């Protein structure tokens, strides 16, 4: 075996998978996982642990794969992560644990993500579930939002013995894991829901269809519902648009709406009646992971798909793996191209998109070279649907209905990084609601930090004999 190279992982054939929603990556078999685990050098000062935002003891769990004790491997991961099967599939490992792996210095890094996925899938199939051992604390915590931040916070607090209720605006828990990331990257019934179930098995309660800021305010949670602390993990689900002429035409969607219809409301399945456009030619504007997900979904629904991105391929913010998969499946990339207008027919339906060619100028504030339009280079791409994927920001509903809760100029809640403390007593926050759109693992890390902050806060209150002093 060539130890400088990763053990390859099986994937569905690109031509076949471009027409179905089954998972692209098929994961390691036991033999493959053991072979890949044997590449780990079990470093004393393991850099991979520092590269992991939730500091999973990576060499320890990998060694347990070699010891053939997968249950122990799952327990080690479970000490730091409540969503290992999710993270093994969607974390940007190349810029985190694998990005600093010592094996990567003279070859390819250990395939840490695929090993994590192997262990988590094994644990699910063998029904290994987490346990609560702490004494009940008799204090109630409300968690707003059931995405990775809310789930991680709720799970950690339940393990400490707090009574936790998650309030979720949508009819299904999971946040972006359920409504954003498509089935072909992250299966819902097989992977996401069982990991949410594991959090609920810790004693966490969840109430769906409850919009905080409408159904209840945060003040109501303290004053009328008797909660002692609140964690806000409401994400960043408000889509941005370009503000170009024609953006209100029929057939222009935000990636969020398009993906929610397909993922959460199951429009991709023949047995659901959720309407979704199955355009002939779709242009997706943007170059991040969300744009890749929208493009690959549209492709599977039968369209020819163009991704329009204003910088060059080297600057595409999406994961390299996602871009590679999208290209393999037949998505066409129009880079150094920017929309200037959306054109519609006499009935107001999209018939094309006017774009201009760009070139790269001097670096901007982000350090990336600024895209500059090339005068007179405009042309039209005929299409019947446009999906805007330009980023998202936090919804202002909670901040506008909660007195004393500070937000910054990007409308993100201001919260301490170490423990999630906000400007409002007893209110903690973390995840995309605080950072703006980021990643699953960073949101989980922030949820865990919030749980630590809430535990410190409520422990102090217990010791002082004051409960729910809001």
Applying CB under 6 A, among 21, 118, 167, 268 the residue interacting with ligand FAD is 167
Q: Could you tell me which of 34, 30, 103 has the C-alpha nearest to residue 67?
A: 34
- d(CA 299, CA 326) in angstroms, rounded, equals 9
Residue 175 touching ligand FAD (CB under 6 A): yes
Residue 150 touching ligand FAD (CB under 6 A): yes
Q: Could you tell me which of 169, 188, 190 has the C-alpha nearest to residue 178?
A: 188
CB of 64 to ligand SF4, least distance (A): 13
Specify whether the CB–CB gap between 444 and 83 falls below 8 A: yes
Residue 455 interacts, among ligand SF4, ligand FAD, none and using kind-specific CB cut-offs from 5 to 8 Å, with: none
Q: Which is nearer to ligand SF4, 102 or 240 (CB)?
A: 102
CB of 46 to ligand SF4, least distance (A): 4
CB of 37 to ligand SF4, least distance (A): 9
Residue 97 touching ligand FAD (CB under 6 A): no
Applying CB under 6 A, among 170, 221, 323, 331 the residue interacting with ligand FAD is 170
Q: Which stretch binds ligand FAD (CB under 6 A): 39-47, 175-183, 300-308, 347-355?
A: 175-183
Residue 293 touching ligand FAD (CB under 6 A): yes
Widest CA span of the chain, in angstroms?
72
Helix, strand, coil % in the chain, rounded to nearest 5? 35, 20, 45
Strands laid side by side in the 427-429 sheet: 205-207, 163-167, 140-144, 229-232, 427-429
Contact mark string toward ligand FAD, 101..140, x via CB under 6 A = ----------------------------------------
DSSP string covering 379-439, please? Answer: EEEE-SEEEE-S-EE--THHHHHSTT--B-TTSPBP--TTT-B-SSTTEEE-THHHHSS--
Applying CB under 6 A, among 169, 191, 301, 451 the residue interacting with ligand FAD is 169
User: How does DSSP classify residue 25?
Assistant: B
- Residues making contact with ligand SF4 (CB under 6 A): 40-43, 46-48, 58-59, 101-103, 110, 112
CB of 37 to ligand FAD, least distance (A): 23
- d(CA 258, CA 20) in angstroms, rounded, equals 17
Number of residues that bind ligand FAD (CB under 6 A): 41
Specify whether the CB–CB gap between 87 and 52 falls below 8 A: no
Q: Could you tell me which of 147, 138, 156 has the C-alpha nearest to residue 226?
A: 138
Cα distances (angstroms) measured from residue 29 to each of 10, 60, 64, 118: 9, 20, 16, 8
Q: Which is nearer to ligand FAD, 60 or 397 (CB)?
A: 397
Q: Which is nearer to ligand SF4, 64 or 256 (CB)?
A: 64
CB of 76 to ligand SF4, least distance (A): 13
Within 13 Å, how many C-alpha atoms sit on residue 242's CB side? 23
Q: For residue 422, with 0-12 CB atoms within 10 Å meaning exposed, 13-18 middle and 19 or more buried, which class applies? A: buried
Residue 235 touching ligand FAD (CB under 6 A): yes
Residue 457 touching ligand FAD (CB under 6 A): no
CA dihedral of residues 100, 152, 90, 208 (deg, nearest 10): -170
CB of 333 to ligand SF4, least distance (A): 32
- What angle is formed at CA 461 by the lines to CA 457 and CA 462, rounded to 5 degrees? 120
Give me the residues paired with residue 212 across strands. Answer: 216
Q: Which is nearer to ligand FAD, 102 or 438 (CB)?
A: 438
CB of 86 to ligand FAD, least distance (A): 9
Q: Could you tell me which of 368, 438, 455 has the C-alpha nearest to residue 180?
A: 438
Q: Which is nearer to ligand SF4, 106 or 409 (CB)?
A: 106
- d(CA 457, CA 137) in angstroms, rounded, equals 13
Residue 91 interacts, among ligand FAD, ligand SF4, none and using kind-specific CB cut-offs from 5 to 8 Å, with: ligand FAD
Contact mark string toward ligand FAD, 409..448, x via CB under 6 A = ----------------------xxx---xxxxx-x-----
Residue 331 interacts, among ligand FAD, ligand SF4, none and using kind-specific CB cut-offs from 5 to 8 Å, with: none
Please report, as ranges, the residues that interact with ligand FAD according to CB under 6 A: 90-92, 144-150, 167-170, 175-176, 180-181, 211-213, 233-235, 237, 259, 289-290, 293, 395, 397-398, 431-433, 437-441, 443
């Amino acid at each position: 075996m060539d130890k400088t190279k990763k053990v390859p992982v099986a994937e569905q054939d690109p031509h076949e998978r471009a027409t179905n929603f089954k998972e692209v990556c098929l994961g390691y078999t036991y033999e493959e996982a053991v072979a890949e685990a044997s590449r780990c050098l079990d470093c004393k000062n393991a850099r991979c642990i520092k590269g992991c935002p939730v500091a999973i003891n990576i060499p320890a769990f990998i060694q347990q794969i070699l010891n053939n004790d997968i249950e122990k491997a799952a327990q080690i991961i479970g000490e730091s992560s409540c969503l290992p099967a999710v993270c093994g599939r969607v974390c940007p490992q190349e810029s985190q644990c694998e990005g600093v792996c010592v094996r990567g210095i003279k070859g390819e890094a250990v395939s840490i993500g695929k090993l994590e996925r192997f262990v988590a899938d094994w644990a699910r199939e063998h029904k290994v579930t987490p346990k609560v051992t702490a004494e009940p604390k008799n204090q109630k915590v409300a968690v707003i939002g059931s995405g990775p931040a809310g789930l991680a916070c709720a799970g950690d607090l339940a393990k400490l013995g707090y009574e936790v209720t998650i309030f979720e605006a949508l009819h299904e828990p999971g946040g972006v894991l359920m409504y954003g990331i498509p089935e072909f990257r992250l299966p819902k019934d097989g992977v996401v829901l069982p990991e949410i179930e594991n959090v609920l098995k810790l004693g966490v309660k969840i109430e769906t269809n409850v919009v905080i800021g409408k159904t209840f305010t945060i003040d109501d949670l303290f004053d009328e519902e008797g909660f002692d602390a609140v964690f806000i993990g409401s994400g960043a689900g408000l889509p941005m648009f370009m503000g170009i002429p024609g953006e209100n035409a029929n057939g222009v969607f935000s990636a969020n709406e398009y993906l929610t219809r397909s993922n959460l409301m199951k429009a991709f399945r023949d047995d659901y009646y959720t309407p979704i456009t199955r355009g002939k030619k779709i242009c997706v504007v943007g170059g991040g992971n969300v744009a890749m997900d929208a493009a690959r979904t549209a492709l599977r629904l039968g369209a020819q798909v163009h991704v329009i991105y204003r910088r060059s391929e080297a600057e595409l913010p999406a994961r390299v793996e996602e871009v590679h998969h999208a290209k393999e499946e037949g998505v066409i990339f129009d880079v150094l191209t920017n929309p200037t207008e959306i054109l519609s027919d006499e009935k107001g339906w999209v018939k094309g998109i006017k774009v201009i060619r760009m070139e790269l100028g001097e670096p901007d504030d982000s350090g990336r070279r600024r895209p500059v339009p090339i005068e007179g280079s405009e042309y039209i791409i005929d299409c019947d649907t446009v999906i805007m994927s330009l980023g998202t920001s936090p919804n202002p509903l909670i901040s506008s209905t909660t007195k004393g809760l500070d937000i910054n100029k990007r409308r993100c809640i201001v919260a301490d990084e170490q423990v999630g403390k906000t400007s409002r007593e007893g209110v903690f926050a973390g995840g995309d609601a605080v950072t703006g759109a980021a990643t699953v693992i960073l949101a989980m890390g922030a949820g865990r930090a919030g749980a630590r902050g809430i535990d410190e806060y409520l422990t102090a209150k217990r010791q002082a004999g004051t409960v729910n002093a809001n």
